[in-house]
């Protein structure tokens, strides 16, 4: 028996990097994987590779976030794992002395508000099931500081 047999995992930012690697690993452990990302080209490819599905979703958009969990539930019958991993690190997110308010706001929306939206939408599924696991990606920068300026 695999460790995550038939658990349904929704991975935001699953089209690349850590999210992609997680999709492959969770599928190896038997999970049904739902990749939610703004990049459908890579997302569809990885979803096919892991035998899961891709849902186009911008994690800063409340309707998209609600929809991705609904699609996961309607397709597989539960939402057991929410990996809130989508995030950005744009070059204009730099020193506080040079970072403009638009870059600041964009990073807050994608990296932080998205986690609020995802938790808010997924927790009711998990409450009804009586179980579930949420993993929110932060950064080693939170505990070790950044090598380059990143306000």
Angle between helices 40-49 and 17-28 (to 10 degrees): 20
Q: How far is the CB of 7 from ligand NAD (least distance, A)?
A: 21
Q: Does 22 bind ligand NAD (CB under 6 A)?
A: no
Task: Write the interaction track for ligand NAD spanning residues 88-117; mark x where CB under 6 A is met and - where it is not.
Answer: xx--------------------xx------
13 φ/ψ sector (left φ>0, alpha ψ -120 to 50, else beta): left
**Would you count residue 132 as binding ligand NAD (CB under 6 A)?**
no
Is residue 12 near ligand NAD by the rule CB under 6 A? yes
Q: What is the pattern of x (binds ligand NAD, CB under 6 A) and - over residues 30-59? A: -------xxx-----------------xxx
Neighbours of 106 (CB within 10 A): 16
Asked if 73 and 79 touch (Cβ cutoff 8 Å), the reply is: yes
């Amino acid at each position: 028996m695999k460790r995550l047999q038939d658990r349904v995992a929704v991975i935001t930012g699953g089209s690349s990097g850590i999210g992609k690697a997680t999709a492959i690993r969770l599928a190896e452990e038997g999970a049904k994987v739902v990749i939610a990302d703004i990049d459908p080209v890579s997302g569809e490819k990885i979803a096919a590779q892991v035998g899961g599905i891709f849902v186009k979703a911008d994690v800063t958009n409340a309707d998209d976030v609600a929809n991705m969990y609904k699609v996961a539930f309607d397709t597989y019958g539960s939402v057991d794992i929410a990996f809130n991993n989508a995030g950005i690190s744009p070059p204009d997110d730099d020193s506080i002395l040079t970072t403009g308010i638009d870059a600041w706001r964009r990073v807050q929306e994608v990296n932080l508000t998205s986690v609020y939206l995802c938790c808010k939408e997924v927790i009711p599924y998990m409450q009804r099931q009586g179980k579930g696991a949420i993993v929110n990606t932060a950064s080693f920068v939170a505990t070790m500081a950044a090598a380059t300026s990143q306000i």
